[in-house]
C-alpha cells in the first residue's frame, strides 16, 4: 500500500457532500420541481442503485446537512426519493438492456448485500463481466433479511435488485464462501479481481449469566427468522436490550407478533441513543416502554426458560471513544423485570472463520478485514474488501459508498492505473450567503407512513395525490451548491442573461438568495432586478424561481457545458 499522492477536490452542495454515495440531490430535486419524476430516478441511479430502498430506510445524512435547516426545516429529500422511485415502479419500469462488455477481465463479488451489489452495478456500467456469489437463497443481505417488512417490503428489494440483474450482472445464490468457493478457486477459474462484501452476520452477546436460556434470541437472528417466514413464539412480555435502530425494529416486531408488553432497556440516556428519533417515536406509538440508564446483570430462568432479567442502574461519566458519556454501574441498585423473552440488540460482528488469516485485522477489537481506507485494497493482490466487513456495522448508504469506491479501485487495478493518484475528495460548498433573505416555508410533504399498528402492510397512498405536494416541497430547495449535471446535462439552466417577467414575479427573493454572483436585487416595487454586468448566465435563478418568472437567453449546448464546468471548478 503506497503513500497518498495527489487528489482532485470536488466541490459539492452540503446535501450531496454529506451523502456517502454523493447522490446528486440538487439535480433530482430540481427535476421534481418540474414534474420530471422519471428523469429524477435516472439521476439518482447515476450514483446508486437503490432509490426506493434508501427512500425508505436511509438515515438521511443529506437532510441533516441541508442548508434549509438554517431557515426552518430540511427539505424532505428522502421522501422525495421514495416518491419518484415508487412512481416508476407503479407505472411500470422499463426493463434495462444489458450493458455491452467492454472489458474481458472477470470480477467476482462475495456477498449480495448493498456494498457487493453496488460494486457489481458500477462495474457492470463500466462494461465488466461481474458475478456475485451469495450464501443465502435470496439476495439483498441485511436489506432483505434483517429489516422488518413493515419498514421495507420484500418486493421493493426484489425490484431494485432486478434492475441490477437487467444490466447483465450474474448472481449465484446458495454459494458459501470458504466452503463452496475460495479466493484460490476463484482465481483458478480466471477471476482477475475479487471484492469481499460479506457484511456482519452475527449478533453480539450480552456476556451475562443465563444468556443460554430458552427465550434468549439475538435481534439479528430474531429478525432474520421472522423475515424467512418462520414462526417465533414471543410470549407476553419481551425485553429488548439496546438503543439502536435494530433494537427498535426488534421491539416493534415483537409487538406485532403478539407480545402484550415490550420494554427496551438502554444503558445510557435517551439523548445518547443511536436510533433515529423517527424510529423511537414510532416505537413509542406502538406502546413500547423505555427504561434508560439500566444494564443487564444476569438473566434468571426457571425450568430452563427465561423468567426475568436482573439489571443494574447506571450513571453517566466522562465521554468514551464513541463520544458519548460512559455508563457506570451504581452499586446495590439491582432490580428485576419479569419477561418471557430477552432480545439482545447490541450490534453485529463479522463471521471471519471463512477468511484467509492473512486478511484479518489483528489490531481491531472486533473481527474484520484489514483494508486501505482510501482504496479498499487488502494484503492480497487483486483482492479488495469493503462495507461492514471492513468498518464494522454501518448503514446501507455507507455500504453503497464503499461499493462505489471499490469499483473505482478495481477498475484502476485491472487497467494498470495508480489506485491513489487523482482520487476525488469532496469539499462542501454553498452559494447562499444571507439566510435572512429567505422566507420561512416549512415542510409540506412527508413520505407515506405505515399502515395502522400490528399490520405488516406498507401504506399505499395514491401516488398521483402526492405529486403536487412533492413539487411544492422540491421548490423549498435553495439550490445552494454548484451541480454540473443539473446545469448542463439536464439543460435546466441554459441562458446568457437572466430576464425577469415583472407580471409573474412575487418578490419572494429566492433568486437573489441563490445567485452566486450577487446579480439580483429587489427594486422599489419589490420586484427582482438583474444587474447584467454581474450576471454570468448560469441560470440558477431561473431553475429555482417558483413562479417561473425568470427566463434565460438561449446558448448553444457546448457553451452551457463549458459554463457549468467553469462554475463547478469555482
Instruction: Give me the pLDDT at residue 7, please.
Output: 67
Question: What is the model's pLDDT at position 117?
Answer: 98
- The residue among 61 and 482 whose pLDDT is bigger is 61
Query: Which region among 382-391, 458-467, 506-515 has the lowest average model confidence (pLDDT)?
Result: 458-467
Q: Lowest-pLDDT range, 128-132, 310-314, 324-328? A: 324-328
Highest mean pLDDT pick, 323-332, 347-356, 429-438, 535-544: 323-332
Helix, coil or strand: residue 342 = strand
Sign of the CA dihedral 49, 50, 55, 59?
negative
Whole-Å CA distances, 459 to 145, 469, 478: 20, 17, 30
For the chain, what is the radius of gyration of the CA atoms?
26
Report pLDDT for 176. Answer: 95
The CA-atom distances, in angstroms, between 497 and each of 378, 540, 555 are: 52, 11, 10
Looking at every residue in the chain, the average pLDDT score rounds to 86
pTM of the model: 0.84
Give the class (CATH, top level) of 206-346: alpha beta
Crossing angle (nearest 10°) for helices 114-126 and 154-166: 30
Choices 1.10.10, 1.10.3470, 1.10.1060, 1.10.287: CATH for 7-95+426-474: 1.10.1060
Q: Give the per-residue pLDDT at 6.
A: 62
Mean predicted confidence (pLDDT) in 89-110: 90
**231 pLDDT above the threshold of 60:** yes
The sign of the CA dihedral 324, 325, 330, 335 is negative
Confidence bin at 433 (pLDDT 50/70/90): low
What residues does CATH 3.50.50.60 cover in the chain?
106-201+349-424, 206-346
Q: What is the pLDDT of residues 51-79, one digit of tens each?
A: 999 999 999 999 999 988 988 899 999 99
Given a cut of 70, whether residue 333 has pLDDT beyond it is yes
What whole-number distance in Å separates Cα of residue 501 and Cα of residue 52? 38
Least trusted range by pLDDT, from 36-40, 282-286, 368-372, 562-566: 562-566
Q: Is 155 strand, coil or helix?
A: helix
Grid cell listed for 426: 469532496
The answer on pLDDT for 381 being more than 60 is yes
Q: Give me the CATH topology for the region 484-568.
A: Alpha-Beta Plaits (3.30.70)
Q: Does pLDDT of 206 surpass 50?
A: yes
229-238, 314-323, 325-334: lowest mean pLDDT where? 314-323
Give the residue-averaged pLDDT of 547-566. Answer: 60
Average pLDDT over residues 444-473: 62
For residue 444, is pLDDT > 90? no
456 confidence band (pLDDT: 50, 70, 90): very low
- CA 349 to chain centroid: 20
Decide if pLDDT at 84 tops 50.
Answer: yes
Region 154-174: mean pLDDT is: 95
Q: Which three cell numbers stand for residue 520?
A: 439580483
Average pLDDT over residues 259-286: 93
For domain 106-201+349-424, give the fold. Answer: FAD/NAD(P)-binding domain (3.50.50)
Residue 526 is placed in which grid cell? 419589490
293 half-sphere exposure, CB direction, 13 A CA radius: 12
**Tens digits of residue pLDDT in 494-550:** 446 788 998 899 888 888 877 767 789 888 888 999 988 777 676 778 877 888 898
Q: Work out the percent of the chain whose per-residue pLDDT is above 70.
A: 88
Amino acid at each position: 500500500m503506497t503513500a497518498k499522492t495527489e487528489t482532485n477536490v470536488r466541490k459539492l452542495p452540503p446535501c450531496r457532500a454529506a451523502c456517502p454515495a454523493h447522490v446528486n440531490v440538487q439535480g433530482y430535486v430540481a427535476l421534481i420541481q418540474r414534474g420530471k419524476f422519471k428523469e429524477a430516478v435516472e439521476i439518482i441511479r447515476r450514483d446508486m442503485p437503490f432509490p426506493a430502498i434508501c427512500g425508505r430506510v436511509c438515515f438521511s445524512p443529506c437532510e441533516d446537512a441541508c442548508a434549509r435547516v438554517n431557515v426552518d426545516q430540511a427539505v424532505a429529500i428522502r421522501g422525495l426519493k421514495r416518491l419518484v422511485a415508487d412512481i416508476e415502479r407503479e407505472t411500470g419500469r422499463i426493463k434495462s438492456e444489458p450493458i455491452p462488455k467492454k472489458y474481458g477481465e472477470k470480477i467476482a463479488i462475495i456477498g449480495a448485500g448493498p456494498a457487493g451489489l453496488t460494486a457489481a452495478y458500477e462495474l457492470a456500467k463500466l462494461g465488466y463481466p461481474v458475478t456475485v456469489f451469495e450464501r443465502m437463497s435470496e439476495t439483498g443481505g441485511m436489506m432483505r433479511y434483517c429489516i422488518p417488512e413493515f419498514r421495507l417490503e420484500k418486493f421493493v428489494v426484489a425490484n431494485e435488485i432486478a434492475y441490477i440483474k437487467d444490466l447483465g450482472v450474474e448472481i449465484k445464490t446458495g454459494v458459501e464462501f470458504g466452503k463452496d468457493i475460495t479466493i484460490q478457486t476463484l482465481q483458478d477459474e480466471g477471476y482477475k479481481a475479487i471484492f469481499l462484501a460479506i457484511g456482519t452476520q452475527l449478533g453480539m452477546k450480552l456476556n451475562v449469566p443465563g444468556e443460554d436460556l430458552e427465550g434468549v434470541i439475538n435481534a439479528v437472528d430474531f429478525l432474520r427468522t421472522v423475515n424467512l417466514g418462520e414462526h417465533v413464539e414471543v410470549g407476553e412480555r419481551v425485553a429488548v436490550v439496546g438503543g439502536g435502530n435494530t433494537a427498535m425494529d426488534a421491539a416493534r416486531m415483537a409487538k406485532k407478533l403478539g407480545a402484550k408488553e415490550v420494554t427496551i432497556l438502554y444503558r445510557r440516556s435517551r439523548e445518547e441513543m443511536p436510533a433515529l428519533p423517527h424510529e423511537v417515536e414510532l416505537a413509542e406509538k406502538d406502546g413500547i416502554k423505555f427504561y434508560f440508564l439500566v444494564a443487564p446483570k444476569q438473566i434468571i430462568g426457571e425450568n430452563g426458560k427465561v423468567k426475568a432479567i436482573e439489571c443494574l442502574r447506571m450513571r453517566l461519566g466522562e465521554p468514551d471513544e464513541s463520544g458519548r458519556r460512559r455508563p457506570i454501574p451504581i452499586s446495590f441498585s439491582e432490580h428485576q423485570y419479569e419477561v418471557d423473552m430477552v432480545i439482545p440488540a447490541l450490534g453485529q460482528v463479522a463471521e471471519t472463520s471463512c477468511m484467509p488469516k492473512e486478511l484479518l485485522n489483528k489490531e481491531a477489537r472486533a473481527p474484520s478485514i484489514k483494508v486501505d481506507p482510501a482504496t479498499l485494497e487488502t494484503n492480497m493482490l487483486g483482492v479488495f474488501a469493503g462495507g461492514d466487513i471492513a468498518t464494522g456495522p454501518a448503514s446501507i448508504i455507507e455500504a453503497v459508498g464503499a461499493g462505489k469506491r471499490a469499483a473505482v479501485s478495481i477498475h484502476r487495478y485491472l487497467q494498470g492505473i495508480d489506485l491513489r493518484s487523482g482520487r476525488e475528495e469532496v469539499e462542501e460548498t454553498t452559494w447562499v450567503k444571507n439566510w435572512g433573505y429567505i422566507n420561512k416555508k416549512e415542510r409540506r410533504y412527508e413520505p407515506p407512513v405505515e399502515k395502522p399498528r400490528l399490520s405488516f402492510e406498507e401504506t399505499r397512498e395514491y401516488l398521483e395525490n402526492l405529486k403536487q405536494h412533492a413539487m411544492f416541497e422540491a421548490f423549498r430547495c435553495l439550490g445552494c451548491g454548484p451541480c454540473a449535471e443539473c446545469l448542463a446535462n439536464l439543460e435546466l439552466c441554459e441562458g446568457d442573461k437572466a430576464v425577469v417577467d415583472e407580471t409573474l414575479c412575487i418578490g419572494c427573493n429566492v433568486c437573489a438568495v441563490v445567485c452566486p454572483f450577487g446579480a439580483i436585487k429587489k427594486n422599489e416595487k419589490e420586484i427582482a432586478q438583474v444587474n447584467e454586468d454581474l450576471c454570468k448566465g448560469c441560470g440558477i435563478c431561473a431553475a429555482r424561481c417558483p413562479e417561473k418568472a425568470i427566463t434565460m437567453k438561449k446558448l448553444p449546448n457546448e457553451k452551457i457545458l463549458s459554463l457549468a464546468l467553469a462554475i463547478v471548478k469555482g
